Amino acid sequence: MEAPERSKEAQGEIVPLAVKEEPSSRIEVLGITKKPKEKSIEHADVLVVAGRGLKKKEDLALVEELAEALGGDVACTRPLVEAGWMDPRRQIGLSGRTVRPKLIITCGVSGAIQFVAGMEHSEEIFAINTDPKAAIFKVANYAVVGDIYEILPQLIASIKQGRKIA
C-alpha cells in the first residue's frame, strides 16, 4: 500500500468546544500502602554468592548462615534464578546486577564470563570450588579448591568463635 501524496493546501475545520464541567472519575482511593525498602545487593559491602555447586535449594541455608555471620548479604548466579531457588534481584552478572563489594565469597560458582562481568571489580574475591581449573580462580584474590559442604561449616564456626582464619 502506498502512502497518499502530500497536499500543500490546508484542509479541515477547527471547532471550538466548551467543557461545561470538570471531568470526574468513579475511582475512590481507599488507602495507600507504602512499599518497604529493599536491601539491594548493589550496595552490600560483603556478598556470599551461591552457585551451581549447591546440590539442592535447602543448601542455601549454609550460604545464608555464612552471610549472616559476616554481616553480609546473599546473591546468586543465573542457574539458581532459573531453577526458581532465588529472586532475580539477587542475581549477579550481565543479565543480573553489577556489584562492587569490599568482599565477595563465591561458593560453587564456575566463573562464567557473564557472571564475572558483574563482579570483577570487587575489592577482594574469595572463591571456593571443587574444580581446580574453574574460571572463577582467574579473577579470585583467594582460591580454595574444595567442597563447599566441608569448607563452609568450618568457616562459619571459625567466624562465630572469633578465630582468625589461617
Q: What is the pTM of this model?
A: 0.75
| Rounded Cα–Cα distance for residues 84 and 50 (Å) | 13
CA distances from 4 to 7, 12, 13, 101 (A): 9, 17, 20, 60
CA distances from 130 to 30, 36, 58, 163 (A): 56, 39, 20, 25
- The sign of the dihedral angle between the CA atoms of 123, 134, 59, 40 is positive
pLDDT in tens, 50-76: 999 999 999 999 999 999 999 999 999
Q: Compute the mean pLDDT over every residue in the chain, rounded to the nearest whole number.
A: 92
Residue 162 pLDDT: 81
Q: How far is CA 115 from the centre of its chain?
A: 10
pLDDT in tens, 2-58: 888 888 888 888 899 888 777 778 888 899 999 887 778 999 999 999 999 999 999
Judge whether residue 163 has pLDDT over 70. no
| Rounded Cα–Cα distance for residues 64 and 50 (Å) | 9
